[in-house]
Chain A
Amino acid sequence: MPLHQLDDDSFEEIIYDNGEACLVVFSRKSCHVCQEVVPVLEELEYKYHGKFGFYRVDIEEQKTLFQRFSFKGVPQIIFFKNGEYQGKLSGKVEDEQVEEKISNTLD
């Protein structure tokens, strides 16, 4: 299932107001690494349903959000819990790396 997309308002609400433990992947449709990484996350989302949130920001549509974090490229996966940033993964990643980071975030 496609990941739930965030915009400026929903980013504030989900990450900071709700303080949900989650990840947000910043990606672009034309980026081939993103095309490999996003499906990995879509599969994992199913496994972590109800325990950990999976969201996506399309950087072509959400330029202000992209610029805010000064990322050097995409894909970038950033992790949050209780409204606090927990770290990130950049570029091509495997599902084990994402799961390890989720586990660290939930600890």
Chain B
Amino acid sequence: MKCEAKTKKIIVLGLDGMDPSLTKKFMDEGKLPNIKKFVERGAQREDLVMLGGLPTITPPLWTTLATGAYPGTHGITCFWNQDHDDLSGIVYNLDSRMSKAEPLWNVSAEAGKKTLVWHWPGSAWPPSSTNPNLYVVDGAQPAAVQMSAANVDTEKFLVASEKIKKVIYKPKYINETGAGCVIEELEEDKFSAEDAKALLERHKRPSIVNIELDHTRGELSLVMPPYDVINSPIKPAEGWVNAPEGAKEFSVITDNGLTRRPALVLKNAQGIYDRVAIYQSKNEKEPLFELEEDKLIVNVIDKVNVNGNLVPSTRSFKVLEIAPDGSEVRMWLGTAYDINNDERWHPKQLYRDVIDNVGYVPCFSQLGGKNYEFSARVLQPVWQNYAQWQADALNYLIEKHGFEIIFSHLHMIDAQGHIIWSFAKEREDSDTDPLAYQKLIENCYIHADEYIGSFLHLLDEEWTVIITSDHGLVCRQDLPPLLGDPGGVNVRVMQELGFTALKKDESGNELAEIDWEKTIAVNTRSAYIWLNLKGRNPHGIVDPADKYEVEEKIIDALYGYRDPKTGKGIVSLALRNKDAVILGLDGPETGDIVFFLKEGNNRTHGDCLPTAECYFDTSISPIFIAAGKGLKEGFTTTRVIREVDLTPTMAVLAGLRMPAQCEGAPVYQILED
């Protein structure tokens, strides 16, 4: 099927985690002027809602948005897919080779339209068409361009003080208290550096086993991702070739503890210490660069030592505090990116073009959570800077390269959502200020508005602009009992119900290992339960003849389960695989049973229905706003707009054929007559 084109140029501004409820709230309060302009000139629902697909997880839904196919059809069914050889294993699936559905960008490129796919975390990388009209940038992980390939050193936080006695470099530190970053004592970590490294590098590994016994290896690991902590004494400068009078020195340790950059704290003409200068060595006359308090410095070029090789890399810095008497310095160091790494750019010369004309790819940050200062002074401004760079890069490519179809994605809202949204509500285990965090959420949307505003000019240049997201994010209530976490095998509820058993050691202590001889079924990932079936699974104990009955027993048990804390049920919906076709979740990649948690019993997103709402007017729903050529102006529709409808709507607008597996329908109601 192919229609006459209503527009020549379409850009999708995808903002991961953007929630129509919060957008409308802040827009109606006058805080999002650019989004308001798009809405006023556009055609969408009054409530800006798009009915979300399931599960409410990034890779399946961005794949749905690009193909018009449900997850059961395209086969990307959660953040991870199921390892069919091992029911406790999960397989990384931000890989286009795992999708069984044709993306619209292949159709448009093959139809002769110059097409750009920019960091789309759903079956975009590696490029799945060799057509020269197709340009693809990264998308092999959700966070940001370059993260999966060019990252050569983790982000860090440094505390230097006259009170600190020795240099300490603590790799992959998980700050559970939210305070400090001064390492008092070196205790044995319950979450080892090795575990933390696995967590940070999970996007680099094809398959993992993550047996979740509590939330620390699931949802909570996203609130407090590990980072490196540096502690250094501050002393009078000694042994320097060219240290100014009164300068004090400290050490900056990087590159897995292997590299030291000596640094000076310097005073101004009034005798106030107000600058930090980082040197290659004490023998150099000039510093590599200087830093001032509260100024974000992006993309300083330095060499990072990777296995003995010096790799030219970018790094960003922000000094949060320099004590006026020079007795203390606190400073953030961003992730370092190898500046010559063009692995995730297709064609590769696109990388050089962008960095030469727009600047190096800036890093993002994962610091924050309970630490308000990190959230407000590092996380947010660093993302704001990244979003500005991305807007500049996309506008540069639009102007210089003549792209006609652009699929773009920005992770800024989702990335901050996991780290700070939950603190917008009072928490028993945290003394954070909910109102301050609510203001951070508002700021995040204001930054999203600035990003979207960078593309407002396209409406006057015959472009069609679609603003959308995969899912929203909620400021959750308490965490639910352990069921439905997307990151691995959820043991506890299924164990309580008698379906999952753990192995024990000689003393009877449980091990983080499934006892397959006693396990009837496991819940892996956000929404799926697999029976341990004879003949199908390596250690199967359920007779295939009993499968139907066992499924029924599990479904009944899920509905009957009561949260011991509240006495209330937690499962809203549980279906057999064949019945889950009504949700687009049947087929071999989901599970024998598909289930979702109830509203109010959910994580930030991923485990509940897309209609769930929560505290501070947050919701799980994705957003849909469309404006420009080919669309009605200032129009609202009551039509339910589904995620599968984006692709066919774009196909109709651009006069393209429908992708092969498309299951959605164009949103006829918003199209210009």
Q: Give the contacts of B190-215 with A (CB-CB under 8 A).
A: 193-194, 197
Mask of A31-75 contacts with B, CB within 8 angstroms, 1/0: 000000000000000000000000000000001100111101000
Q: Are A12 and B167 in contact (CB under 8 A)?
A: yes
Please name the residue on chain B nearest to A8 by beta carbon.
B166
> Does A69 lie within 8 Å of B166, measured CB to CB?
no
Beta-carbon contact of B281 and A85 below 8 Å: no
A5-37 to B contact mask, C-beta < 8 Å, 1/0: 000110010011101000000000000000000
Nearest-CB residue, chain A, relative to B168: A64
Query: What number of residue pairs across chains A and B have CB atoms under 8 A from each other?
Result: 61
Question: Does B535 interact with chain A (Cβ within 8 Å)?
Answer: no
Question: Is A91 part of the binding interface, using a Cβ–Cβ cutoff of 8 Å?
Answer: no
Nearest B residue (CB) for A86: B308
Cβ of B506 to closest chain A Cβ, rounded Å: 25
Contact A69 B257 (CB under 8 A): yes
A87 lies within 8 A of B307 (CB): yes
Closest to B171 in A: A70
| Distance A83 CA – B303 CA, assembled complex (angstroms) | 13
Most central of A8, A64, A79, A82 by chain B CB within 10 Å: A64
Cα(A19)–Cα(B262), bound, Å: 12
Q: Interface residues of A, CB < 8 Å — how many?
A: 23
- With an 8 A cutoff between CB atoms, is B282 at the interface? yes
Among residues of B, the one whose C-beta sits closest to the C-beta of A18 is B239
Q: Are A70 and B281 in contact (CB under 8 A)?
A: no
Indicate whether A95 reaches chain B with its CB closer than 8 angstroms.
no
Residues of chain B from 164 to 199 with CB closer than 8 A to chain A in the complex: 166-172, 186, 193-194, 197
Q: Are A85 and B305 in contact (CB under 8 A)?
A: yes
* Given contacts A68-B169, A68-B171, A16 and B262 within 8 Å (CB-CB): yes
Contact across chains for A16 and B308 when beta carbons are under 8 A apart: no
Q: Let me know if A99 is at the binding interface, CB within 8 A.
A: no
Q: Name A's interface SS.
A: mixed
Question: Nearest-CB distance from B353 to chain A (Å)?
Answer: 32
Q: Which of B197, B257, B282, B310 contacts A68 (CB 8 A)?
A: B257
Flag if A70 contacts B193 (CB, 8 Å): yes
The residues of B that contact A87 with a CB separation of less than 8 Å are: 307-308
Bound complex: CA A87 to CA B193 (Å): 21
Nearest-neighbour CB distance to chain A for B182, whole angstroms, equals 13
Instruction: Check A70–B307 contact: CB distance below 8 A.
Output: no
Q: Does B323 contact A (CB under 8 A)?
A: no
The reply to whether the CB of B151 lies closer than 8 angstroms to some CB of chain A is no
Q: Are B281 and A19 within 8 A (Cβ)? A: yes
Contacts of A72 in B (CB 8 A): 194
B604 touches A (CB below 8 Å): no
The answer to whether A68 touches B253 (Cβ under 8 A) is yes
Question: Given A64-B168, A84-B310, A85-B305, does the pair A69, B281 have CB atoms closer than 8 Å?
Answer: no
Bound form: Cα–Cα A40–B171 in Å: 31
- Inter-chain contact B166/A64, CB cutoff 8 Å: yes
Question: Considering only CB atoms, which chain A residue lies closest to B282 in the complex?
Answer: A17
Complex: how many Å from CA A9 to CA B262? 14
Please, which residue of chain A has its CB at the minimum distance from the CB of B251? A12
B259 lies within 8 A of chain A by Cβ: yes
The answer to whether B256 and A70 have CB atoms under 8 Å apart is: yes
Min Cβ gap A73→B in Å is 12
* Distance between A15 CB and nearest chain B CB, rounded to angstroms: 8
Q: Which residues of B have CB within 8 Å of A88?
A: 308
Q: Hey, what's the 0/1 contact readout for B220-260 against A, CB within 8 Å counting as 1?
A: 00000000000000000001000000000001010111111
Contact A85 B166 (CB under 8 A): no
Q: Is the CB of A84 within 8 A of B169?
A: no
Q: Are A8 and B167 in contact (CB under 8 A)?
A: yes
Contact B258 A16 (CB under 8 A): no
User: In the complex, A63 Cα to B171 Cα: how many Å?
Assistant: 13
The chain A residue with its CB closest to the CB of B262 is A16
Asked if B281 and A68 sit within 8 Å, CB to CB, the answer is: no
* B35: min CB distance to chain A, Å: 45
Minimum CB–CB distance for B198 against chain A, Å: 12
User: Complex Cα distance A70/B170, Å?
Assistant: 9
- Determine which of B193, B255, B260, B305 lies in contact with A16 in the assembled complex, contact meaning CB atoms within 8 Å: B260
B644-673 near A? 1/0 per residue, CB < 8 Å = 000000000000000000000000000000
A residues less than 8 Å from B168 (CB atoms): 64, 68
- Partner pick for A85 among B170, B194, B283, B308, CB 8 A cutoff: B308
State the A residues within 8 Å of B (CB): 8-9, 12, 15-17, 19, 63-64, 67-70, 72, 78-79, 82-88
What are 23 inter-chain pairs, A to B, with CB distance below 8 A? A9-B166, A12-B251, A16-B251, A16-B260, A19-B281, A64-B186, A67-B171, A67-B186, A68-B169, A68-B170, A68-B257, A69-B258, A70-B172, A70-B194, A70-B197, A78-B258, A79-B308, A83-B259, A83-B281, A84-B305, A85-B255, A85-B258, A87-B308
Which residues from chain B sit less than 8 Å from chain A, CB to CB? 166-172, 186, 193-194, 197, 239, 251, 253, 255-260, 262, 281-283, 305, 307-308, 310
Q: A16-B262, A68-B170, A70-B197 are in contact. List 5 more A-B contacts (CB 8 A).
A: A8-B166, A16-B251, A67-B193, A70-B172, A79-B308
The 6 residue pairs across chains A and B that have the minimum distance between CB atoms: A87-B308, A68-B257, A85-B258, A68-B169, A8-B166, A16-B260
